[in-house]
Structure 1
Amino acid sequence: MSDPASQPASTLPSLPLEELVACHECDLLMHKPQLLLEQKASCPRCGFELFAHRAQVQRRSLALVLTALVLFLPANFLPIMHLTLLGQTTQDTLWSAVVSLYHGGMEAVALIVFLCSMVIPLLKLLCQLLVLLSIRWRLALAWGRRLYRSYHHLREWGMLEVYLIGILVSIVKLIDMADLTLGSGLFCFVGLLLAQIWLEVSMSPHQIWEALEEGGHARD
């Protein structure tokens, strides 16, 4: 349910800043709407989704971030595919791809792949986990706010979906050239990606920021 009932800045009376909100896309200044569970508020000018008030946001997010962390190691270190060509069988993982790039003389590319496919996604998940635990236990909320800001800065550098597309392209090209078998690492990688996408949808930013306020309530 959308609730675009917000007034432009020119018609707003003098209100405290906490009662105003600016659209992230078009900068329209509006009165902050009050939402019920499972309601959404959109910008009346450009249609950008301003808020989504989700039910049980903390429990769902905590379950998803723990699921993603459990899948992280097998997704990166279990074989993605087994390739048999001319009687020789090899198995590839994300980590072995980084090592191969490094030993192939492409140290800079290996470093970028290592950071964007392993380090930054792990840091994002750890930031989300610590933020949720801070809210749940009402401890170190100032650190929780810093970690949540750091998470938003890291979001642009996580590129798991790009690597999934690369894996699928490789499978399509190699399937006619060799005997190829999908490994368990690929299914863990897809599960990790889906868990992260669902986590992005479930972890409503305005609810997290409100819960991180010193006087805010940890509402589910």
Structure 2
Amino acid sequence: MPDSADSTKVSDLPLDELVACHECDLLMRKPHLALGEKAQCARCGYELYAHRHNVIERSLALVIAALLLYVPANFLPIMQLNLLGQASQDTVWSGVVGLFDTGMQGIAVVVFLCSMGIPLLKLLCQLAVLLSIRWNIGRSYGLLIYRIYHHLKDWGMLEVYLMGVLVAIVKLVDMAELSLGLGLTCFVSLLLVQVLLEVIMSPHQIWQALSGGESHARA
């Protein structure tokens, strides 16, 4: 009976004061957080959202770093292979071109989109959203771009491509002379920066800033 009474009180609240857990769907009153605090689900303990320090500035720095790493990560050699006196250097882009030239155009397109196209588009969307908040311009466009970004999130698969590279290295290391290139370092760095960006760029604070909530200087 107490649960029923509590749920009735919650259901009477306006929507902007409610939050639902993404894991167990529990509907709760949205807590007001101070800087550095996190909100957790009362039932399953899932982190609902956090209020982090300097989200916009830190996220902008990470986006710019990721964009600077993008070109060397995709166009510098990931590894150099020496087999029977023949040497070849492999990059992410050369892998896409190689698949296309061998008649696997469909796979080449998928690899290009998941390893190069969509990751770049995600970074550009994040940059546009953060700049719209930082400069306080085009918030309505920022909302649209951020929605597009959320639809793209699951399609950028740098970690899957990296696993494929690591498997290839393990299989080839006993068959040929193999040396790792600077491109692999840049690729791993790009992946780590993007993971950190996902952690730092709090969706709750970004939505709040885009919708004209609290001052984005505190976001």
Whether TM-score is above 0.5 comes out as yes
Find the residue that maps to 1:190 and give its secondary structure.
helix
* Contact 1:74–1:185 (8 Å) recurs in 2: yes
CA 138–181 in structure 1, closer or farther in 2 if over 3 Å, else same: same
Question: What TM-score results when the alignment is normalised by the length of structure 1?
Answer: 0.94
Matched residue, 2:144: 146
How far apart, in 1, do the equivalents of 2:77 and 2:87 lie?
12
Matched residue, 1:86: 84
Matched residue, 1:95: 93
Alignment coverage as a number of residue pairs:
214
Matches within 5 A, 1:192-203: 192-203=190-201
CA deviations 1:72-96 (Å, max 9, x no partner) are 0110000000100111100000000
How far apart, in 1, do the equivalents of 2:19 and 2:11 lie?
14
How far apart, in 2, do the equivalents of 1:215 and 1:170 lie?
49
How far apart, in 2, do the equivalents of 1:68 and 1:25 lie?
30
Aligned Cα root-mean-square deviation (Å): 1.4
Matched residue, 1:56: 54
Residue identity opposite 1:49 in structure 2: E
Question: What TM-score results when the alignment is normalised by the length of structure 2?
Answer: 0.94
Kindly state the Cα deviation for residue 33 of structure 1 after the two structures are TM-superposed. 0.4
Q: What's the % identity of the aligned pairs?
A: 64
Kindly state the Cα deviation for residue 215 of structure 1 after the two structures are TM-superposed. 5.0
Write 1 or 2 for the structure with the bigger share of helix: 2
Residue identity opposite 1:59 in structure 2: E
Residue identity opposite 1:150 in structure 2: I
CA deviations 1:57-110 (Å, max 9, x no partner) are 111100000000000011000000010011110000000000110011100000
User: Which of 10, 26, 31 is the equivalent residue of 1:33?
Assistant: 31
CA deviations 1:159-212 (Å, max 9, x no partner) are 000011111111111111111110000000000000000000000000001110
How far apart, in 2, do the equivalents of 1:16 and 1:112 lie?
43
CA deviations 1:126-154 (Å, max 9, x no partner) are 00000000000110000000111111100
